[in-house]
A and B are shown apart, each in its own frame.
Chain A
């Protein structure tokens, strides 16, 4: 669908509008804080202090951000193709299965630096498979990918409960989780990285998958803007008709894009499963797949926007835990509201401030309005 609005200069399109949207989202979240009888300013102070006030806080913030970078990239890749992948949650969940299979099989065979790439492949493969089915159904049978990916989230949840209370559970245990992996299937922590900057910390869950997430951000950038496949993906996302006319195979591009998206979502499982908990647990994804939607929308589907957006959400996640110590009325569930508001204002209402901003800019500097700005649509 073409945008009914004129183009804005790039700095306004990629900088100002997301900032305005974000500001409004947080202002409304502040109202919710007021509604439960706490001070929004104090909450914000606590949030920032909790997230960045200590070495451990930063470690946790980046640990959460790692998961969100993966899922954010997953959603973004699909967005570029005009597809809305709501199934990141499920793809990440079954991705954990790939990690667990590798770790449980090889944790006493190989050292971690062999297990790590194997686990990457395992998680990516299963995540990609989980996204492939809805993709094929969309491409070949015309079923709506949004509905199918939602359905696959529920199916993934049922499947994982079945596996974790049944086949994957050790015989002598009641808890729905696998056995703890041996040390050789643990990812190295990155505490030393924070200590290099002078922070003294006991232990944080920040691990090597953070680096992988950053590498993937670069890989996604190269893929989308520097390869033929990326060009085809963007072409299809911009105009399926034009893509078809140019000889780009519709089914092929949908399936490949969704598999890349699913693989990225699947890799998210490395962070909690291999990096922190060292076993596969029930519900280890804890909504990270959905946060990815907000992250991708806020980052405008560009890796350079997704990484800071993910860190912002990591900050909310970590800081939210700190707030709840001081303000019992505000728990970590606050992030779910903020996430919803960000999706609303940065996603569904992204055009709300555009006309007035255009009017303001046009009156200030008429020449700046001629520039081209890329436009993409989800779903």
Chain B
């Protein structure tokens, strides 16, 4: 029971950056702008967050810096793929490289700790929050540990991430903005005909993507860890992308996909080198590769078909 609680607790922790990045991608891709650059924006956000938090001693300033930098990169992506109708994949790849390189170079130049930022403590980090009554109910069997260990005792960004799931659902399916956002990803010409600016709508989607990837980055470096380590996203942006496809571009399934991938990651750490009955020792590399293998199988249409937004990846040309 204890192992399971710890495992699920760890699952929540490692799922959060995936979930934030996944929802970030959801806004952008639903509007018809593919985003391979989630990874890079998250990485740049993590670096900016940790650097600003270290410099100013405030986690909130760190978060703001992370959001600013990630939004800037998102706007670069928008500028290339919306305004100049460049190839969205190419632009995303470029952003990943720019983020990967500049976080290392700037980190080394500013802090001289081999690409790390100084370690954060106290107010410079998001502290865990104990939900009301967590200590009181912890002795209650089953439900007690679930509430006090798994649900309570996380940083505020964790709650923000899970709050964003119903919020995104509401924004996408119950508001005018959401309807237009989905429409512009399916049929931009129709949106244009209705007198709504495709460009501005897509830019807004891309900015939301930037904000959420910035929060994801800040979570990595200012909440989950106490500082930035080079290449700390380690493919999370791509796993988030995989989760997005897995979830067929829907917010609630996205949460479950991220929790699944998070569970895989948490158990790969937990059960490293353990012997299993029947199968023996499962190589840790296999578990690490599992999210990617699963995604490939899903993409191949063996677990239900994933149909992307129809206008995704195509720049909108108003007139010829």
A32 at the interface (CB under 8 A from B): yes
A225 at the interface (CB under 8 A from B): no
- Stretch with Cβ within 8 A of A (4 or more), from B119-127, B209-217, B291-299: B291-299
Whether the Cβ atoms of B93 and A343 lie closer than 8 Å is: yes
- Stretch with Cβ within 8 A of B (4 or more), from A109-117, A119-127, A159-167, A215-223: A159-167
Count of chain A residues with a beta carbon within 8 Å of a chain B beta carbon: 56
Whether the Cβ atoms of B301 and A143 lie closer than 8 Å is: yes
- Stretch with Cβ within 8 A of B (4 or more), from A147-155, A246-254, A300-308: A147-155
Whether the Cβ atoms of B109 and A352 lie closer than 8 Å is: no
B98 to chain A: which residues have CB within 8 Å? 337, 340-341, 344
A162 to chain B: which residues have CB within 8 Å? 283, 285-286
Q: Which residues of chain B (238-292) have a CB below 8 Å from chain A?
A: 238, 241-242, 245, 283, 285-286, 288-289, 292
In the assembled complex, the Cα of A159 lies from the Cα of B290 at a distance in Å of 11
A294 to chain B: which residues have CB within 8 Å? 97
Whether the Cβ atoms of A337 and B101 lie closer than 8 Å is: yes
In the assembled complex, the Cα of A355 lies from the Cα of B211 at a distance in Å of 32
In the assembled complex, the Cα of A128 lies from the Cα of B79 at a distance in Å of 36
**CB < 8 Å neighbour of B94 from A155, A166, A347:** A347
B110 to chain A: which residues have CB within 8 Å? 36
Count of chain B residues with a beta carbon within 8 Å of a chain A beta carbon: 52
In the assembled complex, the Cα of A151 lies from the Cα of B36 at a distance in Å of 12
B134 at the interface (CB under 8 A from A): no
B300 to chain A: which residues have CB within 8 Å? 137, 141, 143
Query: What is the minimal beta-carbon distance from B229 to any residue of chain A, in angstroms?
Result: 14
Whether the Cβ atoms of A344 and B76 lie closer than 8 Å is: yes
Q: Which residues of chain B (289-320) have a CB below 8 Å from chain A?
A: 289, 292-293, 295-296, 299-301, 308, 313-315, 317, 320
Query: What is the minimal beta-carbon distance from A71 to any residue of chain B, in angstroms?
Result: 14
Q: Which residues of chain A (1-56) have a CB below 8 Å from chain B?
A: 1, 4, 32, 35-37
Nearest-CB residue, chain B, relative to A347: B90
Whether the Cβ atoms of B86 and A379 lie closer than 8 Å is: no
**CB < 8 Å neighbour of A331 from B76, B88, B104, B235:** B104
Nearest-CB residue, chain B, relative to A324: B108
A330 at the interface (CB under 8 A from B): yes
Whether the Cβ atoms of B104 and A144 lie closer than 8 Å is: no
B21 at the interface (CB under 8 A from A): no
B71 at the interface (CB under 8 A from A): no
**CB < 8 Å neighbour of B105 from A143, A150, A155, A333:** A333
A184 at the interface (CB under 8 A from B): no
Nearest-CB residue, chain A, relative to B288: A158
Question: Beyond A336-B101, A377-B87, is A159–B94 a contact (Cβ under 8 Å)?
Answer: no
Main secondary structure of the interface of A (DSSP, over half): helix
Query: What is the minimal beta-carbon distance from A292 to any residue of chain B, in angstroms?
Result: 11
Question: Beyond A147-B245, A329-B105, A337-B102, is A293–B93 a contact (Cβ under 8 Å)?
Answer: yes
B7 at the interface (CB under 8 A from A): no
Whether the Cβ atoms of B301 and A36 lie closer than 8 Å is: no
Nearest-CB residue, chain B, relative to A341: B98
Per-position binary interface string of chain B over residues 73-115, scored 1 when its CB falls under 8 Å from any chain A CB and 0 otherwise: 0001001110011111111011111111110111011100000
A335 at the interface (CB under 8 A from B): yes
Whether the Cβ atoms of B102 and A158 lie closer than 8 Å is: no
In the assembled complex, the Cα of A137 lies from the Cα of B105 at a distance in Å of 38
Nearest-CB residue, chain B, relative to A353: B84
A318 at the interface (CB under 8 A from B): no
A158 to chain B: which residues have CB within 8 Å? 285-286, 288-289, 292
B80 to chain A: which residues have CB within 8 Å? 344, 348-349
Q: Which residues of chain B (22-55) have a CB below 8 Å from chain A?
A: 36
Whether the Cβ atoms of B95 and A84 lie closer than 8 Å is: no
A340 to chain B: which residues have CB within 8 Å? 93-101
Query: What is the minimal beta-carbon distance from B262 to any residue of chain A, in angstroms?
Result: 16
A134 to chain B: which residues have CB within 8 Å? 296
Nearest-CB residue, chain B, relative to A343: B94
Whether the Cβ atoms of B36 and A344 lie closer than 8 Å is: no
B283 to chain A: which residues have CB within 8 Å? 162, 166
Per-position binary interface string of chain B over residues 148-159, scored 1 when its CB falls under 8 Å from any chain A CB and 0 otherwise: 000000000000
Whether the Cβ atoms of A86 and B93 lie closer than 8 Å is: yes
In the assembled complex, the Cα of A336 lies from the Cα of B105 at a distance in Å of 10
A330 to chain B: which residues have CB within 8 Å? 105, 109
A93 at the interface (CB under 8 A from B): no
In the assembled complex, the Cα of A158 lies from the Cα of B317 at a distance in Å of 42
Whether the Cβ atoms of A290 and B97 lie closer than 8 Å is: yes
Per-position binary interface string of chain A over residues 131-150, scored 1 when its CB falls under 8 Å from any chain B CB and 0 otherwise: 00110010001111011101
Name the 4 nearest CB pairs between A and B, nearest first. Answer: A340-B97, A336-B101, A337-B101, A143-B299
Binding site for A on B (CB under 8 A): 36, 76, 79-81, 84-91, 93-102, 104-106, 108-110, 235, 238, 241-242, 245, 283, 285-286, 288-289, 292-293, 295-296, 299-301, 308, 313-315, 317, 320
What are 23 inter-chain pairs, A to B, with CB distance below 8 A? A1-B315, A32-B105, A35-B106, A84-B89, A86-B93, A141-B301, A143-B296, A147-B242, A151-B299, A155-B289, A155-B292, A158-B289, A290-B97, A333-B100, A335-B101, A337-B98, A340-B95, A340-B98, A347-B90, A348-B84, A348-B91, A349-B86, A379-B313
Knowing that A1-B315, A330-B109, A336-B100 touch, tell me 9 more A-B residue pairs with CB under 8 angstroms.
A84-B87, A141-B300, A143-B296, A146-B89, A150-B238, A329-B109, A333-B105, A336-B97, A350-B86
